[in-house]
Amino acid sequence: MSDDVLALNVGSSSLRFALFDVADLALRLRGHVDFGHAGARTSLSGPLAGQLGEFVAAGQDAGEAVDRLHTALPNLSLYCASHRIVHGGDLEPRPHQIDAGLVERLQRWAPMALLHQSVALLAVSRLAQRWPELPQVACFDTTFHADQPEVARCYALPRHYTDAGIRRYGFHGLACEFIADALPRLAGPAADGRVVVVHLGSGSSLCALQQRRSIASSMGFSVLDGLPMGTRCGSLDPGVLLHLLDAYGMPVRDVEDLLYRRSGLLGVSGLSADVRVLEASNDPHARQALDLLVYRAVAEIGAMAARLQGLDAIVFSGGAGTGSPSLRARIAERCHWLGVELDAAANQRGDECISRTGARVAVYVVHVDEELMLARAARGAALAGW
C-alpha cells in the first residue's frame, strides 16, 4: 500500500493542503496559501515542512499553487488525493472517486458555489495532469446535511422545481462533521443535546445539531444564503433581485458578481472583507458591517434554537469565529436571554471552553481540521473499494 493521502481544500480565499499517513492518518505536512492579500502568503508546518523550502505560491491562482506544490513535494508515494467539493448537488451523498463524468456533473453546480467549485475542479485537473495515475476522491460539503428533515430542505415553490433539485442543501459540512465528532470529548453526555455551530469566516453559516446530526442550516440552495459573509450578501429579499434586473437593467452576470464578490462585509464597509481589518478600523462603515454581522448571527442563533426547541451549547468555528474574541463576546452578550454567559478571560485567551462555570448554555471554540476529514473519508472509501 502506498504511504500518503493528499488532502486539498480550496476555499473562497485560500488553499489548504495536508499529507497524512494512510495507515494511521498521522499528519506529515500541512500548508496554507492565503490569497486574500496583494501577494499570496504561504505557511507550512509538520515533519515534512522543511523539505518544501522552495514552495512559494504566486498570484491568486489555486491551480498554479497545485502545480508549484507538485514541483516542490519530495518524491512521495501517494495513495490517493481527496478534494473538498462544496456542492454535491443531486449526487449520492458520499465520497466519490473522480472521473471525467463526475467532473462534468459537478460543473453543473458550479454557479451555486461560484467562488469554490470551478477552482476546486481546476485543482483536480491540474493534479491529474501531474499525477495521471493517482486516484482522486470528491468529498462534498453538502453530505453532512443530506439527512435533514424534508421540511428543513424544502422551498415554497411548485413541486416540479423541488423535484428538479431546487432545495436547501447546506454547506460547511466537513467543518460541522468535525465538530460533531469532537462534541463527546468537549461536552461529555451533553454532546447529543441541542447545539448550534456558528461558523464565521470568508464564508459563514450556522448549523443546528441534535444527537450530533444536522437538522437545519442557514445556507440553502447556494452558498449565498444566510449570514453576511466576506464578500457575499447572505439572505436577501428575492424582490431585490427582481428590482436589480428590472429597474437597473443589470445583466445576470453583473448581479452574480455583485452578490458573490462585492457585497457582504466588503460591500457594507467599503473597506475590507476581513474582520481583522474592520475591527482595527475607526471607519463608521467598518463598524456598521460588524454590527450587521452580529445582528444577523444573533437572529440566526435564535432561529436555530427555535428549531431545536432549546439550546444546550454553541460552538464557534471558522477563521473569524476562532480568531476574534470581540466578535464572540458581542454575539454572546446578545444571546444572554438564551442562557449564554462567557468567561471573559477564557474568551480572550481563546480557550476551548469559554462559557462561565454554571452557565445554562456551554460555549466552545473549535479549530476544525477539514483536511483530516477529507483524508479520513477518502481513505475509508478507498479501503472499501470506492
Among 46, 40, 49, 57, smallest CA distance to 73 is for: 49
Element (H, E) at 30: strand 27-34
8 Å CB contact between 78 and 134: yes
- Nearest-5° Cα angle at 32, 30 to 38: 160
Q: What is the DSSP letter of 17?
A: E
Res 38: pLDDT = 59
User: pTM score, two decimals?
Assistant: 0.94
Rg, C-alpha atoms of the chain: 21
Res 64: pLDDT = 73
- Residue 98 contacts by C-beta under 8 Å, 6 or more apart in sequence? 83, 124, 136, 137, 138
The pair phi, psi for residue 56, each rounded to 5°, is: -135, 115
CA dihedral 328, 191, 299, 345 (to 10 degrees): -20
Res 282: pLDDT = 97
- The span from the CA of 43 to the CA of 39, in Å, is 13
Taking CA atoms, 386 is separated from 13, 77, 210, 242, in Å, by: 31, 19, 30, 44
- Residue 150 contacts by C-beta under 8 Å, 6 or more apart in sequence? none
Active site residue: 4, 61, 141, 225, which one?
141
Predicted confidence pLDDT, tens digits, the chain (386 residues): 458 999 999 876 678 999 999 999 999 999 888 776 556 677 888 988 877 665 666 655 667 777 777 777 766 788 999 999 999 998 999 999 999 999 999 999 988 888 889 889 988 998 898 888 899 999 999 999 999 999 999 999 999 999 999 999 999 999 999 999 999 999 998 999 999 999 999 999 999 999 999 999 999 999 999 999 999 999 999 999 999 999 999 999 999 999 999 999 999 999 999 999 999 999 999 999 999 999 999 999 999 999 999 999 999 999 999 999 999 999 999 999 999 999 999 999 999 999 999 999 999 999 999 999 999 999 887 776 66
SS3 105: helix
Alpha helices in the chain (DSSP H): 62-72, 100-107, 117-130, 150-153, 159-163, 173-187, 238-246, 252-261, 264-269, 275-280, 284-308, 319-323, 325-334, 344-349, 370-383
8 Å CB contact between 186 and 353: yes
Q: With 0-12 CB in 10 A as exposed, 13-18 as middle and 19+ as buried, what is 316?
A: buried
Res 1: pLDDT = 43
237 catalytic? Reply is no
SS3 191: helix
SS3 276: helix
Res 163: pLDDT = 94
- The span from the CA of 235 to the CA of 273, in Å, is 17
Q: What is the DSSP letter of 361?
A: B
Among 320, 225, 260, smallest CA distance to 118 is for: 260
Domains of the chain in start order, with CATH, are: 4-140 (3.30.420.40), 188-365 (3.30.420.40)
- The single residue listed with the C-alpha cell 483530516 is 372
For residue 10, list its beta bridge partners. 15
